[in-house]
A = this chain, B = another copy of it.
Amino acid sequence: MLSAAARARLTVVLVGARNPGNIGAAARALHDFGFSDLRIVNDFAAPLEAAQLAAAATSAIAAAHILHSARRFDTLAPAIADCSLIVATTAIGERELTQPILPLQRASPKILEALAHSGETRVALLFGSEKTGLTNHHLSHAQLLTTIPLFAPSSASGEKPAAGEKAPRHLSLNLGQSVAICLYELTRSGLEGSAAIPILHPTPTTSEGRERLTQLLLEVLDTTRYTRRFPANSSEPQIRQLAHQLGATHREAETWMGILRQILWHNLTPPPPPNL
């Protein structure tokens, strides 16, 4: 589980994002996964301002809070000046640089380690613009490159893009989706089975309860002459197996018993006279 202090040390940096909807979606992802520091690198203020207005207009309070405290920078360097580990998200290929590039699920432990152990460290996670991603210039600021592993048809089915054709797949996920996936990956192991997930554990049926159900079901099958018509399906072990499906929980088992009793009761009650 990431501590609050560790979460506070992660900074998400959107470089060149133009679509206010994507900026808003990124802010929502930060909020949902427990992060708060958003920075926008953009040579004009309009996209962030539009995202702030949209969040305010739609009462997206959580995102509005993050967008309100988001800071805008003209260029990347000052935006990450206080960060120690810079992680850049990128598509595979078309790079001239030599940093290691790891699939997200293998980069994640390194990011978590930096967040957890280095008291003074800020970690910056960079995302490029919708159209072009991060440039080589941006990537040169990073110590670690990571990519969301997408499905490459060529590796699985032998399909290949035609010669000279660029595979367009890395431009497909939108920015809000990419940010959400990265933050999900960073928190998924910490949140697994943690107290943050209140799983309802209903009371299970006891063996005694299951046996009562079995006997009731047998009685119903006798009363309605199922056992007589389908003896091959009606051995007690077979019926027990069927009855065991009725109600994994105590509450469900009680409901099934009520249903079976009602069937019996209805069958044992003399029908009303025909003239009623």
Instruction: Answer whether A168 and B25 are a contact pair too, CB < 8 Å, given A149-B196, A229-B262.
Output: no
How far apart sit A33 and B7, CA to CA, in the bound complex (Å)?
28
Q: B residues within 8 A CB of A152?
A: 196
8 Å CB interface, A145-200 against B = 147-153, 155-157, 168-169, 172-174, 176-177, 180-181, 184-185, 187-189, 191-200
Binds B, one of A55-63, A82-90, A115-123: A55-63
A32 within 8 A of B: yes
How far apart sit A155 and B65, CA to CA, in the bound complex (Å)?
20
Write the nearest CB–CB distance from A264 to chain B, whole angstroms. Answer: 9
Partner of A230, one of B155, B187, B258: B258
A245 within 8 A of B: yes
Instruction: Answer whether A25 and B177 are a contact pair too, CB < 8 Å, given A62-B168, A102-B199, A251-B98.
Output: yes
Asked whether, in the complex, the Cβ of A242 is within 8 Å of the Cβ of B252, the reply is: yes
A140 within 8 A of B: no
Residue in chain B with minimal CB distance to A92:
B198
Q: B residues within 8 A CB of A31?
A: 151, 169, 172
**18 extra interface residue pairs, beta carbon distance < 8 Å, beyond A31-B169, A184-B184, A242-B259:** A25-B174, A31-B172, A33-B150, A61-B168, A62-B168, A103-B192, A105-B189, A105-B192, A149-B188, A155-B195, A176-B176, A180-B181, A181-B181, A184-B185, A221-B262, A223-B266, A229-B262, A230-B262
Residues of A with Cβ closer than 8 Å to B? 1, 4, 7, 21, 25, 28-29, 31-34, 60-63, 92-93, 98, 100-106, 147-153, 155-157, 168-169, 172-174, 176-177, 180-181, 184-185, 187-189, 191-200, 202, 220-221, 223-226, 229-230, 233, 242, 245-249, 251-252, 255-256, 258-259, 262-263, 265-267, 270-271
